[in-house]
Amino acid sequence: MMKKVLILVEGQTEETFVRDVLEPHFQKSSGIFFQPVLIRTKRTATGQTFKGGVVSYQQVKNDLRRLLGDRSALLVTTMLDYYGLPQGFPGLHNLPQGTPYDRVAHLQRQFSSDIDDRRFLPFITLHEFEALVLVDPKVLEEIFVDASCLVNDLLKDIGNRLPEEIDDGQESHPAARICRYFPQYQKNLHGLRAVQRIGLNTIRKKCRHFDEWLQKIETVANA
């Protein structure tokens, strides 16, 4: 059976991350072929389709239904940011108390229940893509000129928090913290460079929720 995994992603950064970081690793280690698919945001009267960004849950659901129609796919999964999830997302109205891991697990259970397909594996990034950059902020010294002092300030800002535990406040989510010290930061340029330098193995060690997602994919593919 072909080990094709379709990943619905919300932006071009995630699309490139799947294609350039996840895909080569898993093709080599497990024979899994990852195919990222950008969310379709709208379609004009002329038939032109715009892609990227999560405007509504219904748009996510529609795209997932379409992808699940591909019977050659072993799994259909997602890579969506917890930060900025749209109103109406399953489970968002009754988030439990507890850790970020508790809350995201609740959302993923509700998401899975709503889609209701055995080949669907939900994944919501805690709290956004930039958490992966904060696995090792020191790599920003290799990307920005004269950045060591700024990186030290960023490290103090983060404190002892694990990357996935950095909160989702409007001024304190991972990207906001990075931009506070590096206003020139661009997710699709500097963010990708950073995670490529950090490496997938290191990211998996520091981000347990992210690692659990990949472990589930590996388990299904190797069954």
Please state the separation of Cα 40 from the chain's center in Å: 17
**Of 176 and 49, the one with more pLDDT:** 176
**Of 41 and 198, the one with more pLDDT:** 198
pLDDT tens-digit readout, 70-112: 999 999 999 999 999 999 999 999 999 999 999 999 999 999 9
Q: Using CA atoms in the order 206, 76, 81, 56, what is the torsion angle rounded to 10 degrees?
A: -170
Q: What is the pLDDT of residue 210?
A: 98
Q: What is the pLDDT of residue 223?
A: 86
> Is the per-residue pLDDT at 43 higher than 60?
no
- CA-based end-to-end distance of the chain: 11
Return the residue matching tokens 């690793």. 25
Confidence of residue 45 (pLDDT cuts 50, 70, 90): very low
pLDDT tens-digit readout, 111-152: 999 999 999 999 999 999 999 999 999 999 999 999 999 999
Tell me: do 177 and 139 sit in the same domain: yes
Tell me: do 142 and 121 sit in the same domain: no
Q: Domain total for the chain?
A: 2
Average confidence score pLDDT of the chain: 93
Tell me: do 68 and 109 sit in the same domain: yes
pLDDT tens-digit readout, 203-221: 999 999 999 999 999 999 9
Tell me: do 9 and 118 sit in the same domain: yes
Tell me: do 26 and 104 sit in the same domain: yes
Q: What is the pLDDT of residue 92?
A: 97
Q: pTM for this one?
A: 0.93
Q: For the ranges 38-42, 98-102, 187-191, which has the lowest average pLDDT? A: 38-42
CATH number of the structural domain spanning residue 31 = 3.40.50
Tell me: do 119 and 163 sit in the same domain: no
Q: Could you list the residue range(s) of the whole structural domain that residue 172 is in?
A: 130-198
Q: What is the pLDDT of residue 52?
A: 53
Tell me: do 103 and 182 sit in the same domain: no
